[in-house]
Structure 1
Amino acid sequence: MSTVQPAGVRVLAFDELDTRTAYAVWRLRQEVFVVEQDCPYPDLDGRDLEPGTRHVLLESTGALHGYLRLLDDGEVARIGRVVLAREARGRGLAAPLMEAALAEVDAEHGSDGPRGRACVLDAQSPLAGFYAGFGFAVSGPEFVEDGIPHLPMRREPRGG
């Protein structure tokens, strides 16, 4: 069993991703969502490139162990594509990804100062309790996407 000891979390805009890191992100998303979860879907949907998108990376010694994507959906921020490599699961490593993403949301500034936005996500239903630990609450009925039950969840703004 390999040991994953992450060196840290980085939050980057698309243009800050070097080519090897971008490749590692897309490969990890493909390995987990498309292959492991058997959900063929258009992963490269154009949203990675948007100016407001932030890529949250969990890495150690040049290896990518986890990732999530933080989108600017106008009135709300949206967390998606939350993924951990198989060897990184069950070790509490998703928490630093969520903490970094929510710190980004809470630190947003408008012309009148801090303005953190509400944040939404579509949780795979068995993970709703995990997201509740970060202040998310179920905000609508369960739905099935790619054969997997999901729950829409929302976290109200924390900023000033």
Structure 2
Amino acid sequence: IPSHDIIVVSSRDELQQCFDVRVEVFHHEQGFPLDLELDELATRLFYHYISAHILLRLTPSLKPIGTIRGYVVPGTTDTYKLTRLAILKEYRKYGFGRELVEALHTWIKAHSSGTTPLIPVPGFYSKFGYTPEGEEFIEDGDPHQKMVLRISVPT
């Protein structure tokens, strides 16, 4: 496994690095429209109780190779949605996706109270104990399935 670190983004430069990874994965590799990557939630960097961007970097070069975002679902105070998990293609074989999800879970536990539902996408997330809820739906032109995990947050 390449030497790396995972940080909660705290600067505009780090946020741009998250965007760069997302654009490479979702736009260039997977063909999604570029405007889907630059939504209003993408700019909510400093509202740490609303959203978090997590960045995976190689060390010591600090080359960005992965990212995930989590945010409070509008209309709730304790439901977080995990989105925009992206890892550059050549680094997907190292288990970094798991590390990014766990880092976001840690951030949520530190910024929440009570039991927090998390809403991601299926497949990969079922390995963490997420279960499907409701019917499949179309978002950004692709089928999605709401997946939920309720985590106990220390009070």
- Tell me, yes or no, whether TM beats 0.5: yes
What count of residue pairs does the alignment treat as equivalent? 144
Partner secondary structure for residue 103 of structure 1: helix
Tell me which residue corresponds to 2:143: 149
Instruction: After TM superposition, give the deviation of residue 18 of structure 1 in Å.
Output: 4.2
Deviations 1:61-89 (A, max 9, x none): 21111100111223301110010011111
**Does the 8 A contact of 2:15 with 2:53 survive in 1?**
no
Pick from 4, 7, 18 the counterpart of residue 7 of structure 1.
Answer: 4
Instruction: After TM superposition, give the deviation of residue 116 of structure 1 in Å.
Output: 4.3
Tell me which residue corresponds to 1:24: 17
Tell me which residue corresponds to 2:114: 115
Partner secondary structure for residue 133 of structure 1: helix
Tell me which residue corresponds to 2:27: 34
Instruction: After TM superposition, give the deviation of residue 129 of structure 1 in Å.
Output: 3.3
Q: Aligned runs of 1:1-160 on 2, under 5 Å?
A: 5-12=2-9, 16-19=10-13, 21-40=14-33, 41-50=35-44, 51=47, 52-60=50-58, 61-73=61-73, 74=76, 75-109=78-112, 114-121=113-120, 123=121, 128-160=122-154
Partner secondary structure for residue 39 of structure 1: coil
Deviations 1:12-67 (A, max 9, x none): 3xxx2242x33322121111112211111432112123312111111112111110
Instruction: After TM superposition, give the deviation of residue 157 of structure 1 in Å.
Output: 2.8
Instruction: After TM superposition, give the deviation of residue 101 of structure 1 in Å.
Output: 0.5
- The answer for unaligned runs of 5 or more in structure 2 is none
- The answer for unaligned runs of 5 or more in structure 1 is none
Instruction: After TM superposition, give the deviation of residue 107 of structure 1 in Å.
Output: 2.8
Instruction: After TM superposition, give the deviation of residue 98 of structure 1 in Å.
Output: 0.3
> What is the percentage of aligned positions where both structures have the same residue?
26
Deviations 1:127-157 (A, max 9, x none): x232012121111212233443221111113
**Does the 8 A contact of 1:106 with 1:116 survive in 2?**
no
Q: 1:90 is matched by which residue type in structure 2?
A: K
